[in-house]
């Protein structure tokens, strides 16, 4: 069974088993490698954008800032496409910077989650999973949505929603 069909099988047959998650890793690994690489490039683009806007004023905007904003938005869209590709496989991307993903699964008839981090050989079971916990639902890396405009001197990487969580 190929990695692509392993991922499709997970969607067609329900939650991942540990074996099925490990068989999906070749495809997931390639996608996660792209996420990590693009996330680092996005962070660099955001830093360059922030520098360009910091040295500009309302009377003298930096012409480079618009191009850098567009570059950061393009990179965010590429990361979003990778995350969507993982989601189509039933895999949750949790940390763009380290390549952490979660395979929702089942073990012994109980809900479980299998975790994989870029560089790991195989998935491992997330034993302390609690569906209602903040750690189960949060991410360690933030990225703006494509709909969120980049303007002024506001850092994309440090924007937070009103509830205090990162976007």
Residue 148 maps to a domain: no
pLDDT tens digits for the chain (167 residues)?
A: 444 444 444 444 468 999 999 999 999 999 999 999 999 999 999 999 998 888 878 788 788 888 999 999 999 999 999 999 999 999 999 999 999 999 999 888 888 899 999 999 999 987 654 444 434 444 444 444 333 333 333 333 333 333 343 33
Residue 160 maps to a domain: no
In terms of residue numbers, what domain contains 31?
3-137
pTM: 0.68
pLDDT recorded at residue 57: 80
Q: 36 in helix, strand or coil?
A: helix
Residue 89 maps to a domain: yes
Q: How many CB atoms lie within 10 A of CB 105?
A: 23
Token readout for 77 is 């869209």
Domain count, the chain: 1
Residue 39 maps to a domain: yes
Residue 150 maps to a domain: no
């Amino acid at each position: 069974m190929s990695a692509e069909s392993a991922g499709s099988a997970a969607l067609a047959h329900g939650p991942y088993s540990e074996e099925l998650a490990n068989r999906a890793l070749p495809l997931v690994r390639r996608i996660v490698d792209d996420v990590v690489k693009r996330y680092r490039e996005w962070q660099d683009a955001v830093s360059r954008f922030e520098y360009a806007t910091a040295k500009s004023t309302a009377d003298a905007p930096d012409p480079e800032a618009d191009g850098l904003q567009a570059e950061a938005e393009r990179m965010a869209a590429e990361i979003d496409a990778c995350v969507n590709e993982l989601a189509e496989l039933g895999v949750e991307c949790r940390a763009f910077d380290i390549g952490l993903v979660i395979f929702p699964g089942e073990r012994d008839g109980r809900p479980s989650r299998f975790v994989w981090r870029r560089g790991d050989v195989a998935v491992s079971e997330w034993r302390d999973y609690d569906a209602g916990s903040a750690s189960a639902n949060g991410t360690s890396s933030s990225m703006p949505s494509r709909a969120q405009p980049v303007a002024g001197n506001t850092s994309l990487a440090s924007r937070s929603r009103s509830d205090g969580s990162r976007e």
